Each structure stands twice: as C-alpha cells, then as structure tokens.
Structure 1
Amino acid sequence: MNREIELISQTAKQLSETISNLNNNIVDLYENMDRSSLTIDERSELILIYQALNELSEGVESLKFLGKPVREEGQLKKNSNGRYILGEHELTSGHPIEVFDEDGNVFYQSRIEHSGGDYYIVSLGRGVPIKNIRCRIR
C-alpha cells in the first residue's frame, strides 16, 4: 500500500475510534441528564451536538466499511429465483455493494434495492439494468 494512503488510513481509523468514544460518552450523558433544568439555549445546543454526532456516526460507519476485506469481486448475475448474486453471495434489498466506474477507474459505495419487479443499484438509478455490472462486496 502507498505510504501516504497508509498514513491517511491509520489517521482515519484513529478518528473513527475517537468519534465512537465521544458518541458513547455523549449518549450516556444525554440519557442520564435532567434536561428539564436546562435553559432554552442549553437544550438547543445539546440537540445540535446530538445531531452532529449522528452525522459523524455515519462517517464512522463508512470508515469501518473500508476496513473490511473484499469478499468477492466480479460481475452481477441473476439466479433462478430472480435475485442477483456475486460469486456465491446472494444480494437482497439493502445489501451494501461497491460498483466499478470505468471512467474513473474506481469503486464507489452503493446498495442493492428492489422496485417494480427487479433489483437496481441505488447510485445507478432504477432504470439501469445491473446484470453483468462489475461490483464487489466486503
């Protein structure tokens, strides 16, 4: 792995752990706090902190996702029961997936969903057929 990428990855992991710890501490404080004694400004600030931590938690989940090993890479195929598979893995609604972008020569994160009798990849849109699209799962 490129040294700069390795350094960024290590820093992101440390940041992820710090945010997770902060989030746990804030949730504990929030759940055990007598909010009725707070002023309007204090309650407003508390709500903003809580909302910001929820958004940071989404980033933490993305960083955790990157830490998982790639389990399978290849082209999506449709099996006999109408679901898509990647290797031995059957994919259903909500399944996270990385889609290969040939123009950018990069994988980007998305998920599988179902609508109108078939599955689609959210980032590609409902009208885009997904059979034989290059993907990977972690």
Structure 2
Amino acid sequence: MRLEEANKKLAATLPALKGISKEEEFEHDHEDPEQRFEEREMRKVADHLYSLIYSVEYLQKPIQASGRVIKRSDGRYEIEGAEDYFTSGSPLEIWDESQEIYARTRIEHDGEDYFAVGIKQPLEGLQARCR
C-alpha cells in the first residue's frame, strides 16, 4: 500500500474513532466484577484510540515552518523567519542527522531553559520544522 493511500484511509477512519474518546463515560454495574473488568479494558482501548487520533490528525497538518532554531531576545525559541515561537508542550520535529529523518518531539522548560524532549543537544542551531 502506498503511503498516500494509507494516510487517506487513516484519515477516513477518524470520525468513527472519535466515537469513543478518552473522556468517555462507560456505564456499568460497579458491583459486577466482569463489567468492572470490561470497563477497565475499554478505558485502555479509549486511551490508545486517543493517541491514534492525535497521531493521524498530526500527520494531516501541513508543515508551517522549516529551518534553523534560533533563540529570541526574550529567551524563547523559534524557527528562523517564522512568526510563531515555542512554549512548553509545543510539538516540533527535529532533524536527526544519524538516521537522516525528522524525529517528532515537544518543547519543555527545565526552569533554566527550553529543551526538546529526548534530544540531548541545545535547541539553538538545530534543523527543525513544525506543523
């Protein structure tokens, strides 16, 4: 299956997947051990669906900016030439030289500076893109 076809099929499943969300309430008999078991398992499924939905929707977003990460005068980071800057929780894709592929991560702050989760390099100067 071609990547484009797989992407379209996944996108088409989104409405059905959203039928059971992470916040869904599953009514059940709290006294019945089997129903408590099923409710717990459905909660796990809903959590996985939530992750799947997030990933599919993320892939549907166009790339908004691509370039080198620079530190602004206010201490925040942005992709050079882009209008938006990153705050804690901002999704970002960092170019991984060793694997020659972008790695999806997010920006967080450690009390001193911002960093990309799972990336052991300073942000400034990294090749990145955001959707």
Q: Deviations over 1:56-94 (max 9, x none)?
A: 211110110110111101110001011101122111111
Q: Which residue of structure 2 aligns with residue 102 of structure 1?
A: 97
Query: In the TM superposition, what is the alpha-carbon distance from 1:47 to its structure 2 partner?
Result: 1.3
1:43 aligns with 2:40: no
TM-score normalised by structure 1 residue count: 0.83
Instruction: Please give the secondary structure, in 2, of the residue aligned with 1:123.
Output: coil
Per-residue CA deviation, residues 20-54 of structure 1 (Å, 9 max, x unaligned), is: 12x05x926x2xx3534x51111111111122211
Matches within 5 A, 1:36-115: 36=30, 39-86=32-79, 87-115=82-110
- Alignment gaps of 5+ in structure 1: none
Equivalence for 1:15: 13
1:104 is aligned with what amino acid?
Q
* Aligned residue-pair number: 128
Whether the 8 Å CA contact 2:106–2:116 is kept in 1: the answer is yes
Structure 1 residue 136 corresponds to structure 2 residue 129: yes
- Among 24, 27, 47, the alignment partner of 2:24 is 27
CA distance in 1, matches of 2:40, 2:69: 43
Q: Distance in 2 between matches of 1:55 and 1:14?
A: 18
3-state DSSP of counterpart to 2:88? coil
| Bigger helix fraction | 1
Calculate the aligned-residue CA RMSD, in Å. Answer: 1.9
> Is residue 2:20 matched to residue 1:5?
no
Gaps of 5+ in 2: none
Report the Cα distance in structure 2 between the residues aligned to 1:34 and 1:20, rounded to whole angstroms. 21
Tell me, in whole angstroms, the C-alpha distance in 1 between the residues paired with 2:10 and 2:103. Answer: 18
Does the CA-based 8 Å contact 2:93-2:129 persist in structure 1?
yes
